[in-house]
Structure formats: C-alpha cells, structure tokens
Amino acid sequence: MKTRTSKTSVSRRTNRKALLLSLLAISLSACGGGSSNSNTATPVVTTPVVTTPVFTAPALPAGGKPANWKLAWSDEFEQAGLPDASKWMFDTVRNKEGWFNHELQYYSKDRLENARVAGGKLIITALKEKLSSAPDYGGQAYTSARLLTNGKASWTYGFFEIRAKLPCGLGTWPAIWMLGTKGSWPDDGEIDIMEHVGKTKGQILGSAYTNFYNWANGTGNTKSTTVGDACDNFHNYQLYWDDQQLAIGVDDRYYFQFVNPKTGDYKKWPFDSPQYLILNLALGGDLGGPVDDSIFPSQFEIEYVRVYQK
C-alpha cells in the first residue's frame, strides 16, 4: 500500500530544514568558519588572570638586644674551676672513632687543663698532647674541649649574645653554634653563630643548615664578615631568631639573614623547634686545615653567654 504525504507535512519538514541550516551557519561563524564578512561578531574569549603571591623577606632587626626582651638564661663564668655542671656538659662521644670533618682533637671531660673558669671567663684550651691512657682514646695528637647545654637548656627563638676572644693559630677552629634537640643532622637544623679558622685570620663565618640547605648537598648557606682584631680583643657574637628569620651578627651589626619561606617545609625551615648551644675549639679538619704545632697552648676565651627572649 502506498504511503501518501500531505502538503502540510512537507512544508513542516522544509521549515525545519531551513531552521537547521540557519543554526549551522551561525555556529560556523562563531568558530571562525563560514562567511568572512567583517560585520560578523566574533566572541571574545577572556583568559583568567592568576596572581601569584610575592614573598617579601622581613627586614633585618635593629642591632643589639631587642627592646623589652628579658634575660632568660646566662652564664657569667664567675665561679672559678670547672664549668658549671648545672649548665654545661662535656661532649666526648666521638673520641674513639674520631670526630666529624676529619678533625684532629681529643675532647676531654672534667679536665681543667682543657676547660676551666678563671678571672671571670671560660677558657677552652687546646694542647699538643696524647691522652693515650684514656679508655676512649682514638689516637689523637691534640686535646681540647667541647661544651653543650643539651639536656640542661634549650630554646626556641631568642636573642643570643656570646662575648668572646678567639684563637688564631694555624689549624684552630673555634665555634659558637646550635643544634636541634631532636638529634638528627641536618634535618633538625644547625645555626652557626660564629666560626673562625686560623688560616683566614679575622674572617668570621655565620651559617644556617637544614636538610635542604647544607654543604653536603652543595646548597650550604654561609656568609662572612671581617673582624680584624678578633684574636686580640673580645667581641659580641650575636643571633636574633624568631619565627620569621635568623639574623647573625657581630657587635650589633648583622651580616647574615636566613628567612623562613613560610611553606611549612621542614626540610627548608626546621627552626620552630628547640636548639641547644655548643662551645668548642676544634683542630684541623676540612675547614681548619693543617695545624701549626708551635701555636700551643691555644685558648678560646668566653666572657659570658646570654639568652634573651620576649
């Protein structure tokens, strides 16, 4: 049976086809196809602007003790004899196997020849001698001392001031520095308030090391300043430390700044946790270099250690 088509249905199909063709032409025009008529409007595509926050480093603090900060801990070295055992301990843990950085000294404990308080000063003395009778002797040709506040005092943030006169003989390597109490290096951070080696007399080094920033990775963060009479006179070696930055200086002038990037990355900023203080006189090693045996006895003198906090 034939199917018949009415004029009405053909007309509807024709109108529908015309409508579809019209819509197709509009679509092609919007996509860049079809007519090149300049009067045809082209849609404007707007690219969103992404703004990256700019990190601004904090300004260096004014030199010297911050106003209104109070003394939280100190040692004025007024009692003659061995260092105050309530404030300091002797570190001897690596004597047998040898100290880090290929250093050459044996660190003694409770031995006035190497660490004593006299005349209002702590005097750390390095000597050319072999303590072969010591049970932890490791074959060293020199003795010295390394004092820590670990287990007795530690701090998170503060202003640290250590007044000291340095030894300058070739091979000497005195240091005033800090390590994290959690006990992992470099993960828990190291702050070097003062390092000096006799082969570069008067050059004072300040550093901050972390898991990310350290000399072993080639990313060490160290700067220097010159104190020409560091071995002849006492100077104030200083650290300002808060949740924004570390600033290291001498005599109220900062020359080193290490800024908290505020990313929450512990590998780059572990300095929101406690650190303890270290005073030591090393000999030789990777930084100290060859030792001149004619320099002994060699003395590192500390007049006081003071810690201020908000």
Point out the residues that are catalytic. 190, 195
Q: How far is CA 250 from the centre of its chain?
A: 17
Say which residues have a Cβ less than 8 Å from residue 217's Cβ, sequence separation at least 6: none
How many C-beta atoms surround the C-beta of residue 147 within 10 A? Answer: 23
Which residue from 296, 266, 267, 268 is spatially nearest to 281, judged by alpha carbons?
Answer: 296
Q: Which long-range contacts (CB under 8 A, 24 or more apart) does 30-33 make?
A: none
- How far is 95 from 104, CA to CA, in rounded Å? 10
Which residue from 308, 302, 309 is spatially nearest to 237, judged by alpha carbons?
Answer: 302
Instruction: Specify the pairing of strand 158-165 against strand 235-241.
Output: antiparallel
Say which residues have a Cβ less than 8 Å from residue 275's Cβ, sequence separation at least 6: 154, 155, 156, 178, 179, 180, 181, 189, 191
Concatenating the DSSP letter of every residue in 237-279 gives EEEEE-SSEEEEEETTEEEEEEE---S--TTT--TTS-EEEEE
Instruction: Specify the pairing of strand 115-118 against strand 121-128.
Output: antiparallel
CB of 145 closer than 8 Å to CB of 111: yes
